[in-house]
Structure 1
Amino acid sequence: MIESSPLSPAGDRHFDGLAEKFAGSLYGGPRGALRLAMLDALLPEMLDLDGQPLLDVGGGLGQLSAWFAQRGHAVTLLEPAGDMLDQARQMLDSLPVSFVQAPLQALPERAAGPWPLVACHAVLEWLSDPRAAFATLAESLAPGGQLSLMVFNRDALRFSNVVKGNLQKALDDRLEGTGKRQRLTPISPLCHEQIVAWSRECGLSIRSVAGIRIFHDYLRHPPTSEADWQRLVALEHRYCQEEPHWRLGRYLLYTLVQEERTPEEKAR
């Protein structure tokens, strides 16, 4: 059995020693396949892409870096877990990707911007202080720069617990994971209202938002044919930005833009 990773000195959940678990349980099954299929459809719709350099924060095994690099972006992948970074290096060997082993908090020293495009997917929910991390991401953006942010949705986690019969847990709002066991329940699941508030604080505007995995996790029976799988993907895509459905996506995907400020505003 793989030993679970301890929390970092800052109280964050890193994933040293869990590269194989991620590759198998998260990306080797239908949940990961659907997540990647949705990103493949949504990223070109939600971002203005013209081959600009990209910083992939907490890039893990490199799936997102690969997507951008294959479309002409020079990518810098920032990741604290050494074995994750090793696997990413192998997978991305022939692509224009550079690698930095460091946590998000070291971004100003190890991958200082300003960046025209930053991606941070499924990272903030594993940090003890996601609000401060959000501010660090905002500060790394160039004026007019775009942040592609994906976070684990606290409201969907509550709904999932109710569906599973964990009624008292949902009533008590005890939704966070401890970060000390094999189970990959985030220690800081987030809600949409937090992202709205933090965006205001940091001078970012929310250009668009979508829910990822709205229906899939609540199916009584997974699709058993390619035709049913394609129907599910079509449903997810059709409703991922429609009220009220997007609000219960297991993940929330945002495009945030750094507002250009006047010299007077910067001096305040």
Structure 2
Amino acid sequence: MHAVGLSRTSGAPAVRTAVVWDVLRTVLAGRVAATGRGRLDIVDAGGGTGGFAVPLAELGHAVTVVDPSPDSLAALERRAAEAGVRVRALQGDAADLGELLPAGSADLVLCHSVLEYVDDPVSALAAMGGLLREGGTVSVLAAGPLAAALHRAATGRFDEARQVLTDPRGRWGDRDPTPRRFTREELTELLAATGFTPGETHGVRIFADLVPSRLLDGEPGAASALIALEQAAAEHPVLRDIAAQLHILGHR
């Protein structure tokens, strides 16, 4: 993987999302080459305040964010204005995508931290697939259960760690704020069941959540070194599966 650059909106390395950005840059470059269009149509389902949408708009793409929260969409619009770009904001849920946007209108759909919260992940992915043009891609980023188990165990919550491993949804208890977590196999099966050809899975935030922020702030070059470590580990067959999040592409 190639190095990730600085975000023009934040001015700092995106340590927690560097691996995802590397994959997305490759997808975008391939789609631009295949279509001959430099300005792609991108839909960010559940895109919130625009952490991905605004940088994609800065790259020159036409980006639409669909999110149920009016407060998040307002923050998105402020963020886009500060960056000097336009991002279309629509209020709605993943289930509403087919009603809000025309079929076959997108080259790329982002589904980041969405499947954990929707009532029906299969219907949500199917709706996203309906937006894609032939040759389009969905980018899925979802929480993984093994990292949750490790983190609970590291804080002495051993019963909760064990429950993560045995619970069908990967939850550590009733107070767990994440309704559902996914293994690599489950994400692959979901994509296949909704008509996608699954791509490779990458681990995201394998080490980033374990490193105290003071180390990144106090050591010159530490953030770049951590990014390089995350990139090197992202496809490792063991380390990948213990990542806080799993990233996988689905191709039409």
TM-score by length of 1: 0.76
The 1:160/1:63 distance shift into structure 2, 3 A limit, reads same
1:202 maps to 194
| Distance in 2 (alpha carbons) for counterparts of 1:130 and 1:226 | 42
CA deviation vs aligned residue, 1:139-197 (integer Å, no higher than 9, x gap): 32222211111111122212222222221112233553789x8x8x3111121111111
* AA partner of residue 149 (structure 2): R
List alignment gaps of at least 5 residues for structure 1: 1-27, 259-268
Query: 2:235 is matched with which residue: 233, 241, 246?
Result: 241
1:106 maps to 96
Alignment of 1:173-192 (within 5 A): 173=164, 175-176=170-171, 185-192=177-184
Whether 1:77 aligns to 2:65 is yes
8 Å Cα contact 1:208-1:256 kept in structure 2: no
- Cα root mean square deviation, aligned: 2.5
Farther off after superposition, 201-210 or 221-230 = 221-230
CA deviation vs aligned residue, 1:97-143 (integer Å, no higher than 9, x gap): 21111111100101232122111111111223223222222232222
Task: Tell me the percent identity.
Answer: 24
TM-score by length of 2: 0.80
Whether 1:161 aligns to 2:142 is no
1:34 maps to 15
2:142 maps to 151
| Distance in 2 (alpha carbons) for counterparts of 1:127 and 1:178 | 19
* AA partner of residue 98 (structure 1): R
| Distance in 2 (alpha carbons) for counterparts of 1:222 and 1:134 | 39
| Distance in 2 (alpha carbons) for counterparts of 1:193 and 1:171 | 20
List alignment gaps of at least 5 residues for structure 2: 1-9, 33-38
Alignment of 1:10-159 (within 5 A): 33-47=14-28, 48-50=30-32, 51-93=39-81, 94-114=84-104, 115-159=106-150
Deviation at 1:222, TM superposition (A): 5.2
8 Å Cα contact 1:38-1:237 kept in structure 2: yes
How many residues are treated as equivalent by the alignment?
Answer: 226
The 1:226/1:129 distance shift into structure 2, 3 A limit, reads farther
The 1:252/1:222 distance shift into structure 2, 3 A limit, reads farther
